[in-house]
Amino acid sequence: MLTILLDGIAYGMLLFILAVGLCVTLGLMNFINLAHGAFAMAGGYLTITLMQQAGVPFLLCLPAAFIFAAVLGLLLERTLYRHLYDKTHLDQVLFSIGLVFMAMAMVDYAYGANQQIVNLPDFLTGRINFLGASIGVYRLFVIVICSLLVVGLQLILTQTRFGSRLRAAVDDGRVARGMGIDVTRIFAVTFAVGSGLAGLGGALGTGIISFDPTFPLKYMIYFLIVISVGGTTTITGPFLAAILLGVADVAGKYYVPAVGGFIIYTIMVVVLILRPQGLFSRGPAR
């Protein structure tokens, strides 16, 4: 019972860390970046390459994946994305989905369409007993890292000067500029951090799921479910939503295997009917 709960939480945490970057760009910058999964894939494949080809330790791959995806995000933001901030959402969707297909083709060309696997270091494999339930060490590791990230992000957003500048820049870019806030730079940094988090999520994901070039499309659905259930105005909303979905998914598959795969979608439909702005959003959707 507790094992199922912990498995679900770990899965939810993984969903959250994959989706949180999207929540930053979508919720804070009001930009629909469907190519978010491509950054996660970049982080995942970097980890796979570093571990398989260069023998880099797994723990070192995590920050490397963050930096790699963040730099990639920064480059694309400076060259491509910034031209689309003022465009309509449809333009943004078309542009970013185009990027997804390009990323998939590139990965397919470079790595082939096979599923890639990494073998985790020994200290992260195996299971331990935790409050009477047995849980995989790696899943516990994911839970700890993600919890730290949530707290960190929430603090940065609400307690720091950067956080308040960012919120100001999002609420009214023109006024923020007038107050002397460098909106362009803030957006660039925010976008880079969002992409970096996706990369980190991808790197962490290599331990649980396998990677193939269809990853960005396969997981886009999950990102969007997390964001739409959780709402985009906070960090905690998607976090709680991801956990809810993870637990519901795992528990559903365990207790009612016949319909297990549908539960995650059922929750989304019900939430969207009852609270179209998202379960944990305070204001109406933007």
Partner 1 sequence: MLRRQILTGVGAAALALAAFPALAQETVKVGLILPMTGPSASTGRQIEAGARLWIAQNGDTVAGKKIQLIIKDDTGAADQSKRLATELVVNDKVAVLGGFGLTPLALSVGPVATQAKVPAVIMAAGTSTIVASSPYFVRTSFTLPQNTAPMAQWSAANNIKTVVTLVSDYGPGLDSEKAFKAEFEAKGGKVLETLRAPLANPEFAAFLQKAKDLKPDALFLFVPSGQGASLMKQVNERELAKAGIKIIGTGDVTDDDQLNGMGDALIGMITSHNYSAAHDSPENKAYVSAFLKATNNMRPNFMSVGGYDGMALIYKALEKTKGETDGAKLLDAMKGVSWTSPRGPMSIDATTRDITQNVYIREVKKVDGQLYNVEFATIANVKGSN
Binding residues for partner 1 (CB under 8 A): 3-4, 7, 11, 108, 112-115, 117, 119, 125-127, 136, 138, 208-210, 212, 214, 218-219, 249-254, 257-258, 260-261
Closest separation between CB of residue 193 and partner 1, Å?
26
Task: Decide whether 170 or 250 has the Cβ nearer to partner 1.
Answer: 250
Closest separation between CB of residue 57 and partner 1, Å?
17
Task: Decide whether 119 or 160 has the Cβ nearer to partner 1.
Answer: 119
The gap between the terminal CA atoms of the chain, to the nearest Å, is: 39
CB 90 within 8 A of CB 27: no
What is the widest separation between alpha-carbon atoms in the chain? 58
Task: Decide whether 28 or 204 has the Cβ nearer to partner 1.
Answer: 204
Amino acid identity of residue 117, one-letter, is: I
> Residue 73 and residue 61: Cα distance in Å, rounded?
18
Closest separation between CB of residue 262 and partner 1, Å?
9
Task: Decide whether 20 or 118 has the Cβ nearer to partner 1.
Answer: 118
Alpha helices (runs of H) in the chain, residue ranges in sequence order: 2-23, 36-49, 58-79, 89-111, 137-159, 161-171, 173-178, 183-205, 215-230, 236-255, 263-274
Closest separation between CB of residue 280 and partner 1, Å?
23
Closest separation between CB of residue 208 and partner 1, Å?
8
Closest separation between CB of residue 73 and partner 1, Å?
24
Closest separation between CB of residue 14 and partner 1, Å?
9
Task: Decide whether 167 or 218 has the Cβ nearer to partner 1.
Answer: 218
All residues at 6 or more sequence positions from 276 whose CB lies less than 8 Å from its CB, including other chains: 285
Amino acid identity of residue 29, one-letter, is: M
> Residue 31 and residue 202: Cα distance in Å, rounded?
21
All residues at 6 or more sequence positions from 12 whose CB lies less than 8 Å from its CB, including other chains: 242, 243, 244, 245, 246, 247
CB 245 within 8 A of CB 199: no
